[in-house]
Structure formats: structure tokens, C-alpha cells
Structure 1
């Protein structure tokens, strides 16, 4: 696959994932804010609106505003910029699944940083899974993207563009 095709694929995936995150957060604000949680499958899936000013599981929620801005917005933005530059420079050596996984991580990070910058550190979270009292933290589509992307990177760490394969007619004769 040509480099420009991979760039278009990467950027298209990123725009789609960020768009999905924004759309679901806007829908959560419109339909869940200031309302009771909505549950499905005997409370296994719970939709509940929360604004989080911390990181995962509200870690750092009590940080001073300036520290929170630098630690949870600017630093991750710099890391994501580095990831973007690394990806664009190395696309030719990457396979499709690795590019897709990086697009997930990048998009999820950008999705939450948009909330932090535009909405004064408040990230919209609205999904919760669990059985009884064993539950996940409340999360959003951007969090799903980051998690799926990291899992993908672990699975496709060595995913290369031109991984050689040997077919039966290429094997040496005995």
C-alpha cells in the first residue's frame, strides 16, 4: 500500500473515531444529564452522565486547576503529537492493523483532550458495565478507543508492511 493511501486511511479513521466520541458525548449530555441512570440487561449496562475532571477513575480530580491543565491536557497533547509524527514518518514499515491500533489510541486521546480544553477540564463519561457491585468505572467512547488501540498494539506489535510469506511452490525441492 502506498504511503499516501496509508495517511488517508489513518486520518480517516482518526476523524471517524473522534467524530463518534463527540457525537456520543453530545447525546449523553442531551439525554442523560440531570437524569436517573438508564440500565439494560438487568443492570449489566448502565448509562449514567458524569463529568470527570481527573484522569481514569477520577485520579487527580483534586489537583489545582493549573497543574491539572498541564498534567492532563498539555502533556498528553505533546505525547499525542509525538505519536502522530512517529506514525506519519514510519507508515511504510507498519501494517494495516498497527496503523489502525495507533489511530484508535490517538483518537481516544484527542477526544478526551478536546473535552478538557473546550469544557474547562470536564470530560463527559456515561457508560458503566458490571454485575451487582462489581462494576467498571464510568467511561466514554474515547476510553474504549484507547483501550482497544493498546490491546491492538500489543497483538500487532510486530505487524509489518511486507511480512514475507512462503507458499508451497516456493519451498526448496527435497
Structure 2
């Protein structure tokens, strides 16, 4: 029985996300001290160095340290599931492969931070007036876009052709 090409080629996108995430974090760490801020778009966007010891939106950031390893193990487990899912996905099923690759690259980017630093390096600060969205990074963006695409394409993307 011939094997069909799987979507593992999409790991190149995951690697791109991972590299972009780590390079941007490295640049910010080289030029900023914690909580330093630089305006990018007045009244809308700053680069602001922040450390997140919790999960999304700083969930459990003050939990005493156990959350570092919990979120690291959780992200590694999710990454393994996504890798297996990509392996079982036909190569031409971009509606599945694209979002999975984005989430995978972002998840690994943040795992690297948790292992290296004990926290995730965030630096994108979107705000309006006194309201600030929680700081985030390239990995967080990829995870969010990938998750939304996975849901939207799963619900409204129609059937994919089998190869």
C-alpha cells in the first residue's frame, strides 16, 4: 500500500515562527530592561518588556513557581499531539496544516522561554488611553491566529479533498 504525502512539510512554517519568535525576543532582551517601553504607534502600540510566569493573560502568574513546569509539560504534550496530527494530515489539507503549524511553532517558542528563563518574554503592548491589552509576543500571536483559524476553518471551511 503506497503511503500518501503527509503535512509534515508544514513544520517549516513552525520553524519559521519559532525562529522569528526567538529572534524578536532576543532583540528586545538586548535593548530593554524589564518594563522599559518604546512607542511604536502613538496611542496604540509600544514595545514594552514584560515577563509572564503564567499562561495566557498572566493566568496563574503568581502561583508560586509550580506553574512553570506545569505549563511546560502541558505545552510539550500539546506539541506532541499536534505533531502526530500533522503527520496524519494529508499534505494538501492546508486548512488543517496551517493552523496546526502556527500553534506548534508558537507553543515551542514559549516552552523554550519557560525552560531558559522560568517565564515567557512578552513585548508587544497594544493599548488605548489607560486600557492595555496584556503584553504578548510572536509565539502568542501565532498560537492565537492558529487557534482561531482551526476553529473557523473547521466550522466554515468546507470539506477537504482526500489525497
Output the TM-score relative to the length of structure 1: 0.81
Structure 1 unmatched ranges of 5 or more: 164-174
Paired with 1:87 and 1:159, the residues of 2 have a C-alpha distance of 19
The reply on whether 1:123 has 2:144 as its aligned counterpart is: no
- Total equivalences in the alignment: 157
Q: Is the 8 A contact 1:94 1:159 kept in 2?
A: no
Paired with 1:68 and 1:115, the residues of 2 have a C-alpha distance of 13
Q: Is the 8 A contact 2:53 2:68 kept in 1?
A: no
Give matches, 1:1-174, under 5 Å.
3-4=5-6, 6-8=7-9, 10-34=10-34, 36-65=36-65, 67-89=66-88, 91-92=89-90, 95-119=93-117, 121-157=118-154, 158=157, 160-162=159-161
Q: Closer, same or farther in 2 for the Cα pair 1:159/1:98, shift >3 Å?
A: farther
- The structure number with the bigger radius of gyration is 1
For residues 45-80 of structure 1, give each alpha carbon's deviation from its aligned partner in whole angstroms, at most 9, with x where no partner exists.
011111111112222122232x21332111221122
Range with greater deviation from structure 2 (68-77 or 96-105): 68-77
Structure 2 unmatched ranges of 5 or more: none
For residues 18-70 of structure 1, give each alpha carbon's deviation from its aligned partner in whole angstroms, at most 9, with x where no partner exists.
000001000110122257311132231011111111112222122232x2133
For residues 75-96 of structure 1, give each alpha carbon's deviation from its aligned partner in whole angstroms, at most 9, with x where no partner exists.
221122112112212x128621
